[in-house]
Amino acid sequence: MSMARVRALRSVEIGMNNLAEARRFFTDVWNLAPVGEAAGAQLFRGTGAFHHILAVRAAPQPALIRVTFDAADRATIDGLHAQVKAHGLKTIDPPAALRQPHGDYGFGFKDPEGRNIAVVCGVSDHADAADQPDRPRKLSHVNLNSGNSDATFAYLRDALGFKLTDTTRRLRFFSCNGDHHSIVLGFAGGPTLNHIAFEMPDFESVMRGAGRMRDDGHGIEWGPGRHGPGNNVFCYFLGPEDMPIEYTAEMLQVDDNYRVGTPENWKWPLGRLDHWGISAHPSERMEQAGLRIHFTGGGWRLDDWR
Ligand SMILES: [Fe+2]
């Protein structure tokens, strides 16, 4: 039997202390669109088809509650569940029927480093999915710090079907569809959130987004630049409560012929961190923010989605 694979990074759920401010920010500044509330979380969509790409719920401090992947159908969900169990992960519920807008079937589990992961299928997605200038289309990737990158790498590959596309001195990049990466894994720290990246329809929208952020008091913390692995344009910011977020565009599309890069392939000349070479290192504040957001203990459970 062939391996079951997830086919997209669908959404993330975060906890924020000031829900009203988060709603204002993600709607008016970050340019997502609110699409109601479910199971106590406020939901926001991009212009793409996914019902929502961000869920925000009230929490004592900023937290990462869950990362949700999309699967093609129930058979794939069952296959993924079997692979996750076969990989030895024990904090996992059996696949179950879900309520919309979470999907019609799925399961939740904790990954090898305790991150909360959900895999779902059959979500009641939107029919309108055309790009709009200045509005994020979808999540591009989630970058996760890692204290045991080898263990998480093995699980992403063997349990969820991700493919490694590049390794640098500091990061591993993983693909689950045409995008060069949907998950990035660090080699340092614990299993905290490094940043959440939202994909804009074009480079111009990234830059105008940076202007909107500046108007709202959030200067650029890193960028603008063009990354090595993935060749995507980037600007990094700190959102409300110092939530680390990125606008990106022009992600490299890959297929099975992509040659997996090694740290040797991604050595920059002294003082450079990207293809353009116009921006300095990430700000100290950005580096710190990328270490302090933890996964919640119980976020792997999908009880309130059933
Ligand atoms: Fe990124």
CA–centroid distance, 228 to ligand 1, in Å, is 11
Give yes or no for residue 1 having a pLDDT over 80.
no
Residues 6+ apart with CB under 8 A from 280: none
For 27-61, the pLDDT digits (tens) are 999 999 999 999 999 999 999 999 999 999 999 99
CA–centroid distance, 141 to ligand 1, in Å, is 7
CA–centroid distance, 199 to ligand 1, in Å, is 10
pLDDT of residue 229: 97
Phi-psi region of 227 (alpha: psi -120 to 50; beta: other; left: phi over 0): beta
Compute the average pLDDT of residues 255-278: 92
CA–centroid distance, 104 to ligand 1, in Å, is 30
CA–centroid distance, 96 to ligand 1, in Å, is 32
Q: What is the DSSP letter of 261?
A: B
Q: What is the DSSP letter of 182?
A: S
CA–centroid distance, 182 to ligand 1, in Å, is 9
Indicate the helix (H) or strand (E) that contains 64: strand 63-70
Cα–Cα distance measured from residue 241 to residue 160, given in angstroms and rounded to the nearest whole number: 32
For 184-237, the pLDDT digits (tens) are 999 988 999 999 999 999 999 999 999 999 999 999 999 999 999 999 999 999
pLDDT of residue 270: 84
For 115-163, the pLDDT digits (tens) are 999 999 999 999 999 999 999 999 999 999 999 999 999 999 999 999 9
CA–centroid distance, 213 to ligand 1, in Å, is 17
Percent of the chain at pLDDT > 70 equals 100
Which residue bears the tokens 């919309």? 100
Compute the average pLDDT of residues 238-248: 98
pLDDT of residue 279: 86
Cα–Cα distance measured from residue 195 to residue 238, given in angstroms and rounded to the nearest whole number: 9
Per-residue confidence band for 173, with pLDDT thresholds at 50, 70 and 90? very high
Mean pLDDT score across all residues of the chain: 97
